[in-house]
Amino acid sequence: MRTLLLVILFLCGARSRAKSRPNFVLFMADDLGIGDPGCYGNKTLRTPNIDRLASEGVKLTQHLAASPLCTPSRAAFLTGRYPIRSGMASQSQVGVFLFSASSGGLPRSEITFAKLLKTEGYSTALIGKWHLGTSCHNRTDFCHHPLSHGFDYFHGLPVTNLRDCKPGDGTVFTAAFQLLVFSPLQVIGITLLTLAVLKYLGLLRVPPAAFFCLLFLAALILVLLLAFLHYFRPLNCFLMRDHDISQQPMSYDNLTQRLTADAAQFLQRNAETPFLLVLSYLQVHTALFSSEDFAGKSKHGAYGDAAEEMDWSVGQILDVLDELKLANNTLVYFSSDQGAHVEEMSIRGEVHGGSNGIYKGGKANNWEGGIRVPGVLRWPGVIQAGLEIDEPTSNMDIFPTVAKLAGAPLPEDRIIDGRDLMPLLRGESQHSDHEFLFHYCNFYLNAVRWHPRNSTSIWKAFFFTPNFSPEGANGCFSTHVCFCHGRHVTYHDPPLLFDLSKDPRERNPLTPTSEPQFREILGAMQQAADRHTETLRDVPNQLSLGNIIWKPWLQMCCSSPSLSCQCDREKQDGTGSR
């Protein structure tokens, strides 16, 4: 009887503990600007469900992405660590993964909040975009896959949504084609013409083999270009369900509805147990897409249509939480992986990027427009409704916040750069736990933010800034994104200093004349940067050239005998999430 009583008490305690721990629904948009949602001031883009979250919870007005690019920002979000610590910060111009058959990715040694919650008995799912790698050595080791990082279930896109994934929407490889295809073809053409003229004039004896070799080389380049254009979409733009390809190439038809329905089904199936759902939207990264119900309905063209459909999806999930009576026991978070891509234009000249509000710059640079993102959290009865917090916070903060609420101890064998948000959200603290934040442009420390404990000032010092082009523009339109080193940046000595509390648009850099403590402020920020740098360790570069190039032995294909890679198991299976 005593043993039976102990078992009953244990089971009751476990059940009570499970009920006391919240569920988590984390919405992550792609390239959504802080000026896009209505709750952040947009008057024409309709986002009633995101606005509802803000009115029922807390709106962060200085919420910062740890990186202004997709891959490193998402690595930081999941691990609570600056991406340079995990090797997810590129030293070259390419800062993200472009191919499904690349060997780089989030190392298995990294601990995500999904891993921590899984050990605490949570059901975990990631639905939507991953963009943190798939396999290392062969196509079935799945070393970087979501299921290797704590998620029980994955349904979505292993890489990212690109223009090349949607026929007729152009390509992101224009610069590469110019360098590797069109320029060599021009050289070959000029060489052929020159040799032909010299031979015709009798000034040079040119063997036929020389012409043949040049023509063969030109033909080979053209064949490789045509093969790339033909095969890129099926080989890189596909959906997976767990470890299996479910649709190749990916179809945009009702894609948001399909992923949203799967997310809702996951909630319904796990309503009796603690759960973590990360709904990682493909919107509003190009290629832009929307279903028939939303196409042409917004005041902002294709971009607005996509954003409004994403907002609809948020509302569907909130409705499911209400129906299951789980809203009061679920922490909901909405954000974007970085700011809007201001240089994004369609092949027809339409603006396909969003709004960063009053802030300068955008995706791929560390001006405020590139890293200041929407940040909304709701937990009825715990977080005060309608609260607005203007303290510096980071998407890395979700890691320790979620872990602590779930009862999972933080790992002690590594530095966690995020800070628990709950004291700030509950009103127990009025000051951010981040005195310093470090803004990286890929591998390179670009800027430091300092919010002194005894001051309302928020200092930001740039060691270098991107060279916008054309001159006077608000982005790097000639290269489509800004780069982080070499001729693409201007270095500053002394660093460029701003007080964001007075100059959030970053228009007026301070000088020793305009700021009496100019040198003392920069000295303190440099010391903080030096202390931070001392904590870094050498780790394998996951975004090295060798790790981002396409490797045929890693290529996944649902029809393995050829590279046709055509299948649609989304309709055939009709299976839902676990």
CA distance 514 to 516: 6
Q: Which amino acid is at 263?
A: A
What is the CB neighbour count within 10 angstroms for residue 186?
A: 11
Question: Mapping DSSP to helix (H, G, I), strand (E, B) and coil, where does residue 245 land?
Answer: strand
Tell me the DSSP string of 401-448.
HHHHHHTPPPPSSS-------HHHHTTS-SS-S-SEEEEEETTEEEEE
CA distance 396 to 501: 22
Helices (H), 237-300: 255-269
Tokens, residue 390: 């203007």
In the 3-class helix/strand/coil scheme, how is 327-390 assigned residue by residue? HHHEEEEEEECCCCCCCCECCCCCECCCCCCCCCCCCCCCCHHHHEEEEEEECCCCCCCCEEEC
Identify the pLDDT of residue 14.
42
CA distance 6 to 13: 10
pLDDT of the chain, 578 residues: tens digit per residue: 455 444 444 444 444 444 579 999 999 999 999 999 999 999 999 999 999 999 999 999 999 999 999 999 999 999 999 999 999 999 999 999 999 999 999 999 999 999 999 999 999 999 999 999 999 999 999 999 999 999 999 999 999 999 999 998 889 888 889 989 999 999 999 999 998 998 888 888 889 898 899 999 999 999 999 989 888 999 999 999 999 999 999 999 999 999 999 999 999 999 999 999 999 999 999 999 999 999 999 999 999 999 999 999 999 999 999 999 999 999 999 999 999 999 998 878 888 899 999 999 999 999 999 999 999 999 999 999 999 999 999 999 999 999 999 999 999 999 999 999 999 999 999 999 999 999 999 999 999 999 999 899 999 999 999 999 998 999 999 999 999 999 999 999 999 999 999 999 999 999 999 999 999 999 999 999 999 999 999 999 999 999 999 999 999 998 755 667 899 998 766 545 55
Identify the pLDDT of residue 199.
84
CA distance 142 to 151: 13
CA distance 278 to 405: 16
CA distance 577 to 277: 11
Question: Mapping DSSP to helix (H, G, I), strand (E, B) and coil, where does residue 492 land?
Answer: strand
Q: How far is CA 193 from CA 9, 186, 202, 209, 215, in A?
A: 89, 11, 14, 15, 11
10 Å CB burial of residue 325 (0-12, 13-18, 19+) is: exposed
Q: Which positions are annotated as active-site residues?
A: 70, 131
Q: Which amino acid is at 487?
A: R
Strand order across the 459-466 sheet: 436-441, 444-450, 459-466, 489-499
| 380, 327 Cβ separation under 8 angstroms | yes
CA distance 303 to 362: 16
Helices (H), 80-149: 113-119
What is the CB neighbour count within 10 angstroms for residue 170?
A: 17
Q: How many residues comprise the chain? A: 578
